Amino acid sequence: MFGFSRAQSIAFVVMLVLIVVSPYVLYPVFLMRVLCAALFACAFNLMIGYVGLLSFGHAAFFGMGSYVAAWTMKVWHVDASIAVIFGALTGAVLGLVLGYLAIRRSGIYFAMITLALAQMVYFFCLEAPFTGGEDGIQQVPRGHLFGFIDLSNDMTMYWVVAAIFLGGFLLVHRIIHSPFGQVLKGIRENEPRATSLGYRTDDYKLIAFVLSCMIAGAAGGTKALVFGIATLTDVHYSTSGEVVLTTLLGGLGTVFGPAMGALVVTSMENYLAQFGAWVTVTQGVIFMICVLAFRRGIIGEIGAFLKISL
């Protein structure tokens, strides 16, 4: 199925079961936040894990996707599905423009260029009239999906978000297991050799970047849909940092790692909220432990222990 190995198929089935069962146990709105974060991390993982490029500006695509989805729903009153598609397209177009500039460098230079471009997007969002400045776009109605599914019910909304997440997850999986994905991995391992074999590596990297940005935009749009808000938090560089943390914690370059990382990071934000300052302290400590003790991330270490690739 979709090029899953046996171990991955089992893990996928388990993830499916968890997605179906958990809303009856845990709070659905919290789970929707986890799923949006997971989809965002999957998009980010496509770049860092399979192309080997650390983008430090992914919040720009996530945030702009969220702004555009919220704005189109609030002002144009478009259908929820159209809004998410608008979000994804915004991510893709922005990714094409910024990626075209950034993709020519790699390593720290790539990270710095993406960070700089993302900061420009942040300032744009701070000043542009349609984003509502530091108050953001607020009280966006959830509306209807395909015109007849009422999304104001949390459970209905949950299934829609779950479907979007699974769609994005499988898309990422499909991309990395396609011949195109194999070329990406080849570029990651040895770019001059890929060039010498006749691959136009810049084009491959740009396409991967645009795909990643598109999925990030869709994740942002979905988040705007769930919470009815789009704010500066989503384009802030701390969101870019958080997605790095999420992916590293879950497991860089693993299929299931980003989802696991999103679950852990979002749970910490949510369930430690009553302990105040301890949220950020705990996040920092866990990040350090992760980097020092298990560098492959949670899923990566499990995979290494079981000698399988997850």
Partner 1 sequence: MNLSRRTITLGGLASAAASTVPLRAGRAQAQPTIKIGCLTDLSGPYRDLAGPGAIAATKMAVQEFAAKGFNVEVVSADHLNKPDVGATIAREWFDRDGVDLIVEVANSGVALAVAGVAKEKNKIFICSGSATSDLTGKSCNASTIHWVYDTYMLAKSTGGAMVKAGGDTWFFLTADYAFGKALQRDTTDFINAAGGKVLGSVAYPFPGTSDFSSYLLQAQSSGAKVLGIANAGADTINTIKQAKEFGIKMRLAGLLLFISDVHSLGLDVAQGIALTDSFYWDMNAKARGFSDKFIAKMPGDRPTMAHAGVYSSSLHYLKTVTEMGAAQAKLDGAATVARMKAMPTEDDCFGKGSIRIDGRCIHPSYLWEVKSPAESKGPWDYYKPLGSTPADEAFRPLDQGGCPLVKA
Residue 231 within binding range of partner 1, rule CB under 8 A: yes
| Ranges within 32-91 binding partner 1 (CB under 8 A) | 33
Residue 262 within binding range of partner 1, rule CB under 8 A: no
Instruction: Write the interaction track for partner 1 spanning residues 85-124; mark x where CB under 8 A is met and - where it is not.
Output: ----------------------------------------
* CA dist., res. 206 & res. 110, Å (int): 12
Residue 130 within binding range of partner 1, rule CB under 8 A: no
In this complex, which beta carbon is closest to partner 1, that of residue 52 or of residue 261?
261
The residue from 107, 133, 167, 284 that contacts partner 1 (CB under 8 A) is 133
Cβ of residue 143: shortest distance to partner 1, in angstroms? 13
Backbone angles phi, psi at 230, to 5 degrees: -140, 120
Query: Six-digit token pair at 27?
Result: 């709070």
What's the chain's Rg over C-alpha atoms?
19
Residue 26 within binding range of partner 1, rule CB under 8 A: yes
In this complex, which beta carbon is closest to partner 1, that of residue 201 or of residue 240?
240
What is the DSSP track for 231-292? -GGGGSHHHHHHHHHHHHHH-TT-SSHHHHHHHHHHHHHHHTGGGTTHHHHHHHHHHHHHHH
End-to-end CA distance of the chain: 15
Residue 229 within binding range of partner 1, rule CB under 8 A: yes
Residue 228 within binding range of partner 1, rule CB under 8 A: yes
Residues near partner 1 (CB under 8 A), total? 49
The residue from 3, 9, 14, 120 that contacts partner 1 (CB under 8 A) is 14
In this complex, which beta carbon is closest to partner 1, that of residue 50 or of residue 122?
122
The residue from 232, 235, 244, 252 that contacts partner 1 (CB under 8 A) is 232
The residue type found at 44 is F
Burial of 60 (0-12, 13-18, 19+ CB in 10 A): buried
**Buried-state track 247-276, b at ≥16 Cβ within 10 A, e below 16:** bbbbbbbbbbbbbbbbbbbbebbbebeeee
In this complex, which beta carbon is closest to partner 1, that of residue 5 or of residue 190?
5
Cβ of residue 215: shortest distance to partner 1, in angstroms? 19
Instruction: Write the interaction track for partner 1 spanning residues 148-167; mark x where CB under 8 A is met and - where it is not.
Output: ------x-------------
Q: List the one residue out of 107, 94, 44 whose CA is nearest residue 265.
A: 44
Q: Count how many Cα atoms sit within 13 Å of the Cα of residue 20 in the half-sphere of its side chain.
A: 6
Residue 299 within binding range of partner 1, rule CB under 8 A: yes
* CA dist., res. 145 & res. 78, Å (int): 10
Q: Which residues bind partner 1 (CB under 8 A)?
A: 10-11, 14, 18, 22, 25-27, 29-30, 33, 126-127, 132-136, 138-139, 154, 223, 227-229, 231-234, 256, 260, 263, 267, 269-271, 273-277, 279-280, 298-299, 302, 305-306, 310
